[in-house]
Amino acid sequence: MQDTKSTAIIWALKVLPHSLRSKISSAIEPVSDKVQDIVLRCNRPVCVYSRGKQLYLTQTGCLTDSLKSQELVISTQQEVLECFNIACGYSVYSHISEIKEGFITIKGGHRVGIAGTAVMSSGAIHNIRDISTISIRISRQIIGCAEAVTQEYIRARGGLLICGSPCSGKTTLIRDMARLLSTLYAGRVALVDTRGELASVCQGVAQNDVGLCDVLDGYPRAEAIEQAVRSLSPEHIICDEIGSLQDATAIMRGINSGVRFVATIHAHNKQELIARENIRQILDTGAFKKVVFLSDRDKPCQITEQLSVEELCCV
């Protein structure tokens, strides 16, 4: 498997304020293939999360695991705000729909998470102000990581649901599945990239290697599924983080048109999965025949358990 993360991380560093960029770049260089998140918090130490370890940036451009160090870099409110503005391309209004969801996707597929004070309107989040935290999650592309699961999917009948906790490699796995299905197996694949993390399209060109997929970038998930079925004649539809009733309805229409689905969902284990009513509705569509669970963030993309939907429902 070829890990292209070290090259892609350059785009994540570009979103950092100039006052921190060189220090962080120097500090993470020895562990760039393991870095998962870079986090700035107002008036708090700059944190780097690396395979389960919480590390802190020092003034000398190194990382330490000790909060007692006197040389820790403290990110200011101005630096947090500058990072937010860079992520928005200095056009906050054009990203308002993403901001309301709590994140912005930047070039390279990296997700910039946002925490602050919610601005409410008619019971819904209208905006976020007084940004207090910026969390840059590093997108990772590992060429070849999905070879085994793709072979199993091709042999089986029906769809595949991939479950795992955050940073377990769900997005990485289905990105590689999209590449393999559309090239090695010559399948017609529609890739539903609602948040821009899978293909990382920039001006119509995918920055990540997703093979010969038809990419529906930025579409609401259910609408993208319906449009793909209506206009692109896919054999396979791949989408990330399903879960709503609208998703279930769109998936049902897709399988009625003969489409197979590969999708991910947030669930650490089978008990957590079947405890959620909306997930049971999705399983009831019959779109998925097999469910796999991934390991935690320390071993991304590694499958720990595979079950048929029938076996899962007996839990």
* pLDDT confidence of residue 7: 56
pLDDT at 310: 87
Strands 260-266 and 159-164: parallel
| DSSP H helices in 29-145 | 77-87, 96-101
The residue that leads in pLDDT, 49 or 33, is 49
Q: Yes or no: say if 165 and 64 are a contact pair by the CB < 8 Å rule.
A: no
Contact (Cβ atoms closer than 8 angstroms) between residue 157 and residue 289: yes
Structure tokens at 59: 């003034």
pLDDT, residue 4, reads 47
pLDDT digits (tens, 9 = 90+) for 79-124: 999 999 999 999 999 989 889 889 898 888 888 999 999 999 988 8
Residue 5's pLDDT band, with cuts at 50, 70 and 90, is very low
Question: Which CA distances in Å does 242 have to 73, 179, 224, 251?
Answer: 38, 20, 12, 10
Who has greater pLDDT, 39 or 296? 39
Say which amino acid occupies 165: S
Mean pLDDT for the chain overall: 91
For 139-168, how does the pLDDT look when each residue is reduced to its tens digit (9 = 90+)? 888 999 999 999 999 998 899 999 999 889
Is residue 1's pLDDT more than 70?
A: no
pLDDT in tens, 58-67: 999 999 999 9
Of 117, 105, 177, 112, nearest to 141 by C-alpha is: 177
What pLDDT, on the 0 to 100 scale, is given for residue 109?
81
Domains in the chain and their CATH numbers? 2-137 (3.30.450), 142-313 (3.40.50.300)
Nearest by Cα to 42 from 79, 5, 93: 79
| Mean pLDDT score, 280-298 | 89
Measured CA to CA, the distance from residue 120 to residue 140 in angstroms comes to: 34
* Of 301 and 181, the one with more pLDDT: 181
34-38, 158-162, 273-277: least confident range:
273-277
Task: Indicate the SS3 state at residue 135.
Answer: strand
For residue 209, is pLDDT > 50?
yes
Average of pLDDT values for 129-144? 93
As a whole number of angstroms, the distance between CA 150 and CA 179 comes to 10
